[in-house]
Amino acid sequence: MDGQYLPMSEAKISVLDWGFLHSDATYDTVHVWDGRFFRLDMHLDRFLRGMERLRMKLPYSRVEIQAILTNCVALSGHKCAYVDMICTRGASPTFSRDPRQAENRFIAFAVPFGSVANKEQLERGLHINISDTVRIPPKSIDPSIKNCHWLDLVKGLFDAYDYGAETALVVDANDNIAEGPGFNVFTVKDGRLRTPVYSVLPGITRQTVFDLCSELGLSAAAGDVGRGELKAADEVFITSTAGGIMPVTKIDDAAVGDGKVGAVTCKLMDLYWKKHADPAWSIPVSYP
Amino acid sequence: MDGQYLPMSEAKISVLDWGFLHSDATYDTVHVWDGRFFRLDMHLDRFLRGMERLRMKLPYSRVEIQAILTNCVALSGHKCAYVDMICTRGASPTFSRDPRQAENRFIAFAVPFGSVANKEQLERGLHINISDTVRIPPKSIDPSIKNCHWLDLVKGLFDAYDYGAETALVVDANDNIAEGPGFNVFTVKDGRLRTPVYSVLPGITRQTVFDLCSELGLSAAAGDVGRGELKAADEVFITSTAGGIMPVTKIDDAAVGDGKVGAVTCKLMDLYWKKHADPAWSIPVSYP
């Protein structure tokens, strides 16, 4: 923060920052696995595109941001990390209500790698609940700008906990499936993959699934996915930088397929993790 | 913060707080005018209701929160202040992604009173632009929970600046007028007042206008307000704790009515500010 490297306990922002008071910020999260950044370029692309769309500017170049992220990981010592880069609108020294007068701020940090699904859930598959909460529509906020507007997703989570499930999917304005708190979702039916296209973040792990499918010769397409289609799928999995590809074996009160983690899901999970050592998909961090 | 009173420059929250990372927070802002809180009870009601709806809990009672707010103002010395109370989801010590495991946090602060409209704008009326951006709909986020999800409003502001206007109104999903960044809007036509009812925060100053109208024998109703109805009004004004009742005299490229601040608006502004000394509407702060 502000050109300094600090322990996480000291990483704090002003309560007057618009990034806090108005959630006026964009961010991205990349992960480091076994000492290597995974697809960092794609995360930087999305982060810089989001900043531009929100009309934010930083005094750092792309190369400098990459160096800061690398330093955060190296100094933290984490071999498997969850690495955040955040740009906030900042605050105006005069309490002005004009966002053009605020000084945009950059924050980056590395914490231990976290996953949506824990080890047990990765092995048996997650139990997910479809909430009636509607994801904030694109006419309100462009979902391709990765943002912190999560109250709808948090509502979905609480709905899911009330239901007795482990996590949630929320719907779009047409009652099709949208996404969950920090993840996209895929269905597999007769060997073909589908994922929602509207009112969702274009996730990097979601894109990675398309790339892996292409390598494996699997058909994968983005389009509307109804509640019925989701429940009738042979396999379902979610995707997130926080955990990669994670199986779902129960939706609401019914098993997905035969209730076991499916073959296509397993094949994709396997290839996904193999790619983490591939220099075409990852770059090493130099630790001190 | 955390039981301590600090100078504003030290009022900072952890970047790991869900209130920042996921805008998982509710807040309220009350103002102090001439050493007196204005309608504090109504702000506390809304704040506590929002917390309950977000399933947040604090170790402070309503009476204790009121005492903290009073101390913030007294210690700041501000006779006219903008006083924020914020409850955030907090962070989990284990980086858990389960919001139930986070420890909710309370922050309060007092800064000098700020207004949406400056002195000149209050005298001649604001120039407002109607943006095509759609306010986050109630199906996504309950607007009666005062929240920090403002990217749509910030987009509206930038649209308005591009247009050459001073501030913005955004629309609801049916293209009716919703609200602006931090304010509600009213029209006056043939002596009757109207304000949008859907996809808006039920503002305290908006409620105050209803109360003042009742006292003045004016008709005021909440209902859908179309773009055409707004532009055809005799008078238009906006309402916010940050500035009170503020006239609008130009919308897009056309004057409102005769382009001057209207008689009904003036009458309401006058009574609004008089109420600030009325013990039925305000309570004094004891400064040290």
Encode pLDDT of B198-257 as tens digits. Answer: 999 999 999 999 999 999 999 999 999 999 999 999 999 999 999 999 999 999 999 999
Yes or no, beta carbons of B55 and A158 under 8 Å apart: yes
What are the E-state strand segments in A34-89?
36-38, 81-88
**pLDDT, tens digit, 9 for 90 and up, residues B275-286:** 999 999 999 999
Minimum distance, in Å, between the CA of residue A193 and any CA atom of chain B: 27
Task: Give which of B29, B56, B154, B200 to mutate to test A binding, by max A Cβ within 10 Å.
Answer: B154
Task: Give which of A54, A150, A171, A240 to mutate to test B binding, by max B Cβ within 10 Å.
Answer: A150
CB B105 within 8 A of CB B123: no
For residue B146, give the CATH number of its domain.
3.20.10.10
Assess whether pLDDT exceeds 90 at residue A148: yes
- Helices within chain B (DSSP H only): 18-21, 40-53, 62-76, 119-124, 151-163, 204-216, 227-231, 263-274
Identify the pLDDT of residue B82: 96
Identify the pLDDT of residue A99: 95
Residue B250, domain member (yes or no) = yes
Residue B281, domain member (yes or no) = no
Identify the pLDDT of residue B214: 98
Query: What is the band of A41 on the pLDDT scale with cuts at 50, 70, 90?
Result: very high
**pLDDT, tens digit, 9 for 90 and up, residues B151-201:** 999 999 999 999 999 999 999 999 999 999 999 999 999 999 999 999 999
Q: Chain A contact for B238, CB < 8 A?
A: no
Yes or no, beta carbons of B23 and A148 under 8 Å apart: yes
Do B261 and B157 share a structural domain? yes
Do B159 and B103 share a structural domain? no
Do B128 and B209 share a structural domain? yes
The tokens for B39 are 């309608």
What are the E-state strand segments in chain B?
12-14, 25-33, 36-38, 81-88, 105-112, 126-134, 167-171, 184-189, 192-195, 219-222, 235-240, 244-251, 254-255, 282-284
Residue B37, domain member (yes or no) = yes
Do A192 and A93 share a structural domain? no
Do A243 and A134 share a structural domain? yes
| Single residue among B112, B145, B168 that ends a domain in this structure | B112
Mean pLDDT of chain B: 97
Domain count, chain A: 2
Assess whether pLDDT exceeds 90 at residue A256: yes
CB A218 within 8 A of CB A194: no
Query: What is the band of B95 on the pLDDT scale with cuts at 50, 70, 90?
Result: confident
Compare all CA atoms of chain A with the CA of B100 and give the residue at the minimum distance: A158
- Write out the residue range of the structural domain in which residue B152 sits: 119-276
Burial group, residue A138, by CB count within 10 angstroms (0-12, 13-18, 19+):
middle
Do A269 and A133 share a structural domain? yes
- For residue B125, what are the CA distances in angstroms to B128, B234, B237, B239, B243? 9, 13, 8, 13, 13
Do A126 and A108 share a structural domain? no
Instruction: Sort strands A12-14 and B12-14 into parallel, antiparallel or unpaired.
Output: antiparallel
Sole residue written with tokens 């039920």: B202
Yes or no, beta carbons of A133 and B145 under 8 Å apart: no
Task: Give which of A4, A6, A9, A15 to mutate to test B binding, by max B Cβ within 10 Å.
Answer: A15
| Single residue among B94, B112, B130 that ends a domain in this structure | B112
Do A167 and A147 share a structural domain? yes
Do B148 and B91 share a structural domain? no
| Single residue among A112, A145, A179 that ends a domain in this structure | A112
Q: Chain B contact for A182, CB < 8 A?
A: yes
Determine if the pTM surpasses 0.90.
yes
Residue A288, domain member (yes or no) = no
Do A96 and A79 share a structural domain? yes
Say how far apart CA B18 and CA A23 lie, in whole Å.
11
Yes or no, beta carbons of A15 and B13 under 8 Å apart: yes
Contacts of B145 in chain A (CB under 8 A): 151
Query: What is the band of A220 on the pLDDT scale with cuts at 50, 70, 90?
Result: very high
Q: Chain B contact for A14, CB < 8 A?
A: yes
Q: Chain A contact for B191, CB < 8 A?
A: no
Q: Chain A contact for B181, CB < 8 A?
A: yes
Contacts of A133 in chain B (CB under 8 A): 139-140
User: Looking at A219-233, B54-68, B85-99, B255-269, which range is the least confident one?
Assistant: B85-99
Contacts of A161 in chain B (CB under 8 A): 100
Burial group, residue B57, by CB count within 10 angstroms (0-12, 13-18, 19+):
exposed
Do A155 and A93 share a structural domain? no
Q: Is B257 helix (H, G, I), strand (E, B) or coil?
A: coil
Residue A281, domain member (yes or no) = no
Residue B3, domain member (yes or no) = no
Nearest to B97 among A107, A111, A114 (CB): A114
Contacts of A107 in chain B (CB under 8 A): 15
Q: Number of A:B CB contacts under 8 A?
A: 149
Residue A2, domain member (yes or no) = no
Say how far apart CA B241 and CA B245 lie, in whole Å.
9
Yes or no, beta carbons of B107 and A15 under 8 Å apart: yes
Q: Chain A contact for B95, CB < 8 A?
A: yes
Nearest to B109 among A15, A18, A161 (CB): A15
pLDDT (mean) for A230-237 = 98
Within 96-155 of A, beta carbons closer than 8 Å to B belong to: 97-100, 107, 109, 111-112, 114, 116, 133-137, 139-141, 145, 147-155
Yes or no, beta carbons of A114 and B107 under 8 Å apart: no
Nearest to B135 among A140, A150, A153 (CB): A140
Assembly ipTM? 0.96
Residue B286, domain member (yes or no) = no
For residue A32, give the CATH number of its domain.
3.30.470.10
Yes or no, beta carbons of B100 and A161 under 8 Å apart: yes
Q: Chain A contact for B89, CB < 8 A?
A: yes
Yes or no, beta carbons of B181 and A97 under 8 Å apart: yes
Nearest to A111 among B95, B109, B181 (CB): B95
Query: What is the band of B2 on the pLDDT scale with cuts at 50, 70, 90?
Result: confident
Nearest to A15 among B11, B98, B150 (CB): B11
Do B268 and B125 share a structural domain? yes
Minimum distance, in Å, between the CA of residue A192 and any CA atom of chain B: 31
